[in-house]
Structure 1
Amino acid sequence: MKTVINPEKEMKDTGIEWVGLIPKNWYIRPLYACLDEINQKNSPIVTMNILSLTNTDGVIPYSERGNQGNKSKENLEDYKVVYPNTIVANSMNILIGSVGLSKYEGCVSPVYYVYSAKSQIDIRYMNYLFQTEPFQKRLRQFANGILEIRLRVSSHDILHQKVAVPDYDEQQVIADYLDETCSQINEIIEEVKASIDEYKELKQAVIFEAVTKGLDKNVEMKESTIENLESIPSNWEIRRIATLYEESKETGREDLPILMVSINTGISEGEVGDDDRIRKVVRSEDKSVYKVVHRNDLAYNMMRAWQGGFGAAQVEGLVSPAYVVARPKCELDSRYVEALLRTPIFTEKIRGLSYGVADFRLRLYWTYFKNLRICFPPLEEQRQIADFITAESKKLDALIHEKLELVVELEAYKKSLIYEVVTGKRRVV
């Protein structure tokens, strides 16, 4: 099957902005004429199979989410029953495409809506219609909530939206085509994502090799006294952080930019804009409460250190008072130390030195961090390794970026195709 553009002479104007032109033999129907809402409570217990909904994987068993998502309630009697071939929509995330077609019998949170198809309606066609961005943008006009992440659309407002609907036979043809085509696109996307993961693993391996073995492949090695690190070059040392750095609590100045440490990119090299600041953290306009970082200082986010939240400062600036700033006590290149501390071996060691009741509460205090033992090459070798990592990372990051752009393009193409087909602008032949 393929699609062709429907000639404009065979189209009619719906008067609905997000729908636009549709084939003359199509109809405009409110969703309540196409779908029935199912509000069957799981009481008495019909099923123990808890289902979850994501905007990437659709409807899946809650057990397949691992540790992601909100914890399910123990009392399942308040949950709604879901049957195969029903649409499940999250009332608070429908605006970002959190809608899916269930293959399972199970139950979902009471904040979800569940819809079944009326006679002469293909539920798959309706599900694809829900996936279109113009429809989601239309629903935004009916959303209520005090926060963007809590915007809720009522089922009444959803069911009163008007949509384009062809005859049942054409709905089936469209759904069959989109099932096949979207599956093919998704396979390509997964292949591209797999190659991205391979590049990321390669980058991690290149960095680990450089910061633990150096750049000379023929160098003489010696046994390491660091657990899980078997050997290091014979001219390297093992040093405690406390012998290399001291904690700095120098407070801020108005003329310095506010910087941020990222678990992905280290410390920023310029003023952090409002859009980049971590949500729910209120920025103080009094810069005197911030800590100063000088070029080559090592700063880390106490709560994200175990995830690699370290950065070597490339410019003078300010960081949050919740960060720890370590200032070199001797000649060294903090870029090397940053790269080393981001490797899996050392992030695991840092995790062990952090304290808190849960992962998201783990904090790395200077008192414990200063006792961490690391491998430490001569200064010139540190610089060579840091320069090498910068150059290699730039190459691999460019390849990763290229692949990520391809994923974005494929996702955009899929969304555009779905919209054009379910509004009749392209005809399946």
Structure 2
Amino acid sequence: MTALHGALAPNGGVKLAHVATVLNGGTPRADDMNWNGDLPFVTPPDLRGLEGESILETSRSLTELGASSGSTVADFGLAVSCRAPIGYVGRLSRRSAFNQGCKAVVPSPEVDEKYLAYVLVAARPILEALGRGTTFMEISASDLGSLLVPATGQEEQRRIADYLDRETATIDALIEKQRALISGLRERRSAAVEHAVSGFTTSADETFVEGPSWMGSIPSTWRTFPLWAMYRREKRTGFLEEPMVSVFRDFGVVFKADRANLNETAEDRSIYQLVEPGWFVVNRMKAWQGSVGVSSIRGISSGHYLCFRPLHGENHKFLNWLFRSPQYRHGFAMLSRGVRPGQAEIDNDQLRKMPVVLPPLDEQREIADHLDRETAKIDALIAKAERFIELAQERRAALITAAVTGQIEIPRED
């Protein structure tokens, strides 16, 4: 045991293995008889965001045969993710199996389950620091069992758990209000873009004609060109010193270092292709989700992207708003092909024939400037709400840690 194991109980505690049983999980073979039964099968993604709350649903399930042949079952207790990522905690709401990415922590009769869940939520930074591995970080059953937890009686445990239930419920309600606000603001932002790229600046007596199927009617003064007449695909490699860029669904083309990205940069940068300002960049696997954009920066992007050099004198900012609009996202989805939901790809032959609708140049500038102003206001409100959530989550985590470690006095109910 290291000093890290005792960080949650600096004045002394008891090993988790002395007050609970720690069980390893497993996954049965991919046999139809093992799967899609009545037994919930808990994996780390099922624990995301629970923060010690009950596990009400799982993405997969096992039969009793599957559980007995390759997994582990717990009738009650907690599930803790031990790899990719470490430290998610949820309470079993019914008899469940779990995979090798989780450990079950079954408390002894003298330990309150909700209290122990709060303790393990507070211990997440410690568990992450205890992780070991090369391919991925993982915490062993031995390390988890060696974690020192505060030693306190069951009555005090229940009092702490009840106090945290009340306090965290208040914080969670505030967080949910901010999330609802963000959702509404994002809908408002999307509607603003959809309205603007449909011809909001046209006069009341403007006539309309049928546009591409995903656009509906467009003003008769607008033109339509195939994408191949406006862009030429190019794949220029060898620019090893340029910064990495990526295309995100929510942000368009940005420097990769400016955004969190789960995709690692390959060591061989020679495979990456140049992107210049004004170039149209498409993530061919995620175009249907909106991962496209007209770049305003220079850098190198994934070799799997489709990159197009402009052949036109149109307004790049307008085209960025157009291609990232809800209408064109629907258009990319119509042109993408895949074998299952969530896996659809758009190829160059389909993309180059895609119709591009263009207002007169002055109108393009007007639409782009309008959207820059309107979305900046909405984005500022979203950022403010996101910051509130961040601070509230920090407050929640600090409160849990302070309560289970005795740093604050728990008020007694009258």
Taking structure 2 as the reference length, the TM-score comes to 0.84
Q: Is the aligned partner of 1:137 residue 2:125?
A: yes
Q: Is the aligned partner of 1:60 residue 2:55?
A: yes
1:229-248 to structure 2, matched below 5 A, reads 229-248=215-234
Distance 1:165-1:311 versus aligned 2 partners, 3 A rule? same
292, 299, 311: which is aligned to 2:293? 311
Are the counterparts in 1 of residues 78 and 92 from structure 2 also a CA contact under 8 Å?
yes
For residues 236 and 84 of structure 2, what CA distance do their matches in structure 1 show?
44
Q: Is the aligned partner of 1:92 residue 2:87?
A: no
Aligned-pair distance for 1:369? 0.5
Q: CA RMSD in A?
A: 3.2
Aligned-pair distance for 1:384? 1.5
SS at match of 1:213: coil
Distance 1:404-1:217 versus aligned 2 partners, 3 A rule? farther
158, 174, 180: which is aligned to 1:194? 180
Distance 1:157-1:319 versus aligned 2 partners, 3 A rule? closer
In structure 1, the residue matched to 2:8 is 19
For residues 354 and 276 of structure 1, what CA distance do their matches in structure 2 show?
26
Are the counterparts in 2 of residues 21 and 425 from structure 1 also a CA contact under 8 Å?
no
For residues 306 and 312 of structure 1, what CA distance do their matches in structure 2 show?
16
Render the CA deviation track for 1:259-280: whole Å, top value 9, x for unaligned. Answer: 3322221122x5x449866634
362, 372, 378: which is aligned to 1:380? 362
In structure 2, the residue matched to 1:330 is 312
Q: Is the aligned partner of 1:279 residue 2:263?
A: yes
Distance 1:316-1:180 versus aligned 2 partners, 3 A rule? closer
For residues 383 and 305 of structure 1, what CA distance do their matches in structure 2 show?
25
Distance 1:237-1:312 versus aligned 2 partners, 3 A rule? same
1:45-84 to structure 2, matched below 5 A, reads 48-52=38-42, 53-57=46-50, 58-62=53-57, 65=59, 75-77=66-68, 78-84=70-76
In structure 1, the residue matched to 2:91 is 101
Aligned-pair distance for 1:281? 4.2
**Aligned partner of 1:260: which letter?**
S
Distance 1:142-1:325 versus aligned 2 partners, 3 A rule? closer
9, 12, 16: which is aligned to 1:31? 16
386, 392, 400: which is aligned to 1:404? 386
For residues 4 and 308 of structure 2, what CA distance do their matches in structure 1 show?
63
**Aligned partner of 1:126: which letter?**
L
> Structure 1: any 5+ residue segments left out of the alignment?
1-13, 66-70
For residues 110 and 20 of structure 1, what CA distance do their matches in structure 2 show?
28
For residues 245 and 169 of structure 2, what CA distance do their matches in structure 1 show?
43
Distance 1:168-1:316 versus aligned 2 partners, 3 A rule? closer
SS at match of 2:94: coil
SS at match of 2:39: coil
Are the counterparts in 2 of residues 48 and 107 from structure 1 also a CA contact under 8 Å?
no
In structure 2, the residue matched to 1:11 is none
96, 112, 132: which is aligned to 1:122? 112
Deviates more, 1:161-170 or 1:256-265: 256-265
For residues 245 and 25 of structure 2, what CA distance do their matches in structure 1 show?
52
1:339-418 to structure 2, matched below 5 A, reads 339-358=321-340, 362-418=344-400
Distance 1:211-1:55 versus aligned 2 partners, 3 A rule? same
**Aligned partner of 2:399: which letter?**
L
In structure 2, the residue matched to 1:8 is none
Distance 1:283-1:233 versus aligned 2 partners, 3 A rule? farther
Aligned-pair distance for 1:293? 3.4
170, 190, 197: which is aligned to 1:211? 197
Deviates more, 1:412-421 or 1:168-177: 168-177
For residues 262 and 110 of structure 2, what CA distance do their matches in structure 1 show?
49
Aligned-pair distance for 1:414? 0.5
1:141-180 to structure 2, matched below 5 A, reads 141-147=129-135, 150-180=136-166
Distance 1:81-1:21 versus aligned 2 partners, 3 A rule? closer
SS at match of 1:212: coil
SS at match of 2:38: coil
For residues 421 and 311 of structure 1, what CA distance do their matches in structure 2 show?
48
Question: What's the % identity of the aligned pairs?
Answer: 22
Aligned-pair distance for 1:90? 2.1
SS at match of 2:8: coil
SS at match of 1:322: coil
Where relative contact order (Cα < 8 A, 6+ residues apart) is larger, the structure is: 1
Aligned-pair distance for 1:305? 1.9
SS at match of 1:428: coil
Aligned-pair distance for 1:195? 0.6
Q: Is the aligned partner of 1:267 residue 2:257?
A: no
Aligned-pair distance for 1:356? 4.2
Aligned-pair distance for 1:174? 0.6
State how many pairs are aligned. Answer: 395
Aligned-pair distance for 1:137? 3.2
Aligned-pair distance for 1:20? 5.9
For residues 227 and 245 of structure 2, what CA distance do their matches in structure 1 show?
23
For residues 349 and 275 of structure 1, what CA distance do their matches in structure 2 show?
26
Distance 1:209-1:29 versus aligned 2 partners, 3 A rule? same
1:243-254 to structure 2, matched below 5 A, reads 243-251=229-237, 253=239
Render the CA deviation track for 1:43-73: whole Å, top value 9, x for unaligned. Answer: 999x82314331303553445x5xxxxx656
For residues 336 and 56 of structure 1, what CA distance do their matches in structure 2 show?
38
